[in-house]
């Protein structure tokens, strides 16, 4: 079992819709959760981080964390074609050497 799992996609949504990206992790001790966006040929860009159970909103983005179920999700409201990218989930916590990344979900927003 991978430490951080994401569906590789592609996840295709129409412009203006809500895109929902999911990530599960195996280490119950994980404490820090991050979402990065990576455009093709570019480096990862931090979108959001969340440490506590519940929702955290930043503009069109909402991160949701459920530690009991060991999943974290990212919602993108009013999706735009410019949101088309690969979204990477990353997890960290006590005893970990470093931030562990999932393999990413490719999102396609259709105009």
Interface residue list for another protein (CB under 8 A)? 31-32, 34, 36, 42-46, 49, 51, 88, 90, 92-94, 96-104
Our CB check for another protein shows the closer of 103 and 110 to be: 103
Distance of closest approach, residue 58 Cβ to another protein, in angstroms: 13
Distance of closest approach, residue 90 Cβ to another protein, in angstroms: 8
Our CB check for another protein shows the closer of 43 and 82 to be: 43
Query: Which residues lie below 8 Å from residue 70, measured CB to CB, with a gap of 6+?
Result: 24, 25, 26, 28, 30
Distance of closest approach, residue 22 Cβ to another protein, in angstroms: 17
Structure tokens at 2: 């991978």
Q: How far is it, in rounded angstroms, from Cα 35 to Cα 65?
A: 12
Assess contact for 28 and 47: CB atoms under 8 A. Answer: no
């Amino acid at each position: 079992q991978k430490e951080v799992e994401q569906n590789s996609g592609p996840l295709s949504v129409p412009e203006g819709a809500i895109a929902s990206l999911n990530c599960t992790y195996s280490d119950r001790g994980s404490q820090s959760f991050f979402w990065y966006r990576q455009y093709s040929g570019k480096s990862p860009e931090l979108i959001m981080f969340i440490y506590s159970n519940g929702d955290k909103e930043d503009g069109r983005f909402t991160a949701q964390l459920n530690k009991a179920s060991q999943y974290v999700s990212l919602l993108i409201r009013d999706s735009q074609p410019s949101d088309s990218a690969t979204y990477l989930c990353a997890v960290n916590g006590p005893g970990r050497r470093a931030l562990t990344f999932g393999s990413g979900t490719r999102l396609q927003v259709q105009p």
